[in-house]
Structure 1
Amino acid sequence: MTNSNILLVDNCSADVESVKKAFSEIGIKSTLHLAQNDAEAWLMLQGENKISPIPKIVLIDINEESVNGIHLLNKIRVHPDLKSILVFVITRTDNDKNKAAALNLNIAGYMHKPDESEKITDFFSILNDYWNIIEFSSEKK
């Protein structure tokens, strides 16, 4: 999955830095784009700041304050150009209502963020292995 785009939607600066560090340590070649909330993410998917090509993967913490992740997931799933994006919910907090809603929106996975930096690298290494063995559409948007 080299030379593709990944969008991370998370407003916790420490978590964002941990993800960036893990991507660097693992050598993930995809470009990581950052959005602090659902509105900013939507602009990056369909607005003035549209990422091109459209990200194949979105990582989102739907339980962060000021991130309306379920709203964003709904918009992604009904949009013809975005509905095939793999969305992974990665969070530290438990919220059964959000978990059920996200799973009902056909997410690729609902996972808990590791607390320790070495575990975050291992966590993203496993995800990267998965991303590299699955097939994505070659269609460019």
Structure 2
Amino acid sequence: MVGANILLVDSNRAHFENTLNVFSQIGIQYNLCFAKDDIQAWLMLTGDKKLSPLPKIMLIDINAEGINGIKLIEKIRLDIDLKSTLIFVISDINNDKNKRAALNLNIAGYINRSFEIEEMINFFSILNDYWNNIEFSS
């Protein structure tokens, strides 16, 4: 999937920059795109600013201020073109209600975000191996 898009939905641009840096260090060959909230993300998935190709993988901080991540995941799961998207929830906030809601929406995983560079490298290395060994729907 070299050159494919991954969409990160997070209200903190620094998280995007850190993730982009880790992708570069590891050699992840995906285009990392950034949406600051669920509204911008939805427009990037379906609107005039639609990403091409559509991302097969999304990373969403559902607990970030200004993001209604559960609502976004619900909309994705109902959309014929998006419902097979692999969604990983990442968050540094432990919110059991949101965690249960996300898991009930068939996310690929719920991950507690670490800001330690070594842990980020380890985490994204494992995900990259996974992403490169699974078959995505067309």
| Global fold match (TM > 0.5) | yes
Show CA shifts across 1:85-105 (max 9, x none).
Answer: 000001100000000000000
Offset, 1:115:
2.5
Show CA shifts across 1:36-81 (max 9, x none).
Answer: 0000000000001000111000100000000100010000000000
How many residue pairs were aligned?
A: 138
Q: State the SS of the aligned residue for 1:65.
A: coil
TM-score normalised by structure 1 residue count = 0.95
TM-score normalised by structure 2 residue count = 0.97
In 2, are the aligned partners of 1:61 and 1:90 still within 8 Å (CA)?
Answer: yes
Note if 1:6 corresponds to 2:6.
yes
Offset, 1:19:
0.3
Give the Cα separation in 2 of the matches to 1:60 and 1:25.
Answer: 21
State, as a whole percentage, how many aligned pairs show the same letter. Answer: 59
Moved more, 89-98 or 110-119: 110-119
Query: Unaligned stretches of 5+ in structure 1?
Result: none
Moved over 2 A (4+): none
CA RMSD of superposed structures (Å): 0.8
Query: Unaligned stretches of 5+ in structure 2?
Result: none
Give the Cα separation in 2 of the matches to 1:81 and 1:16.
Answer: 25
2:50 corresponding residue in structure 1: 50
Letter of the structure 1 residue corresponding to residue 123 of structure 2: F
Give the Cα separation in 1 of the matches to 2:53 and 2:16.
Answer: 22
Q: State the SS of the aligned residue for 1:58.
A: strand
Alignment of 1:1-141 (within 5 A): 1-137=1-137, 139=138
In 1, are the aligned partners of 2:13 and 2:36 still within 8 Å (CA)?
Answer: no
In 2, are the aligned partners of 1:114 and 1:120 still within 8 Å (CA)?
Answer: yes
In 2, are the aligned partners of 1:59 and 1:87 still within 8 Å (CA)?
Answer: yes
Q: State the SS of the aligned residue for 1:6.
A: strand
Give the Cα separation in 2 of the matches to 1:47 and 1:14.
Answer: 25
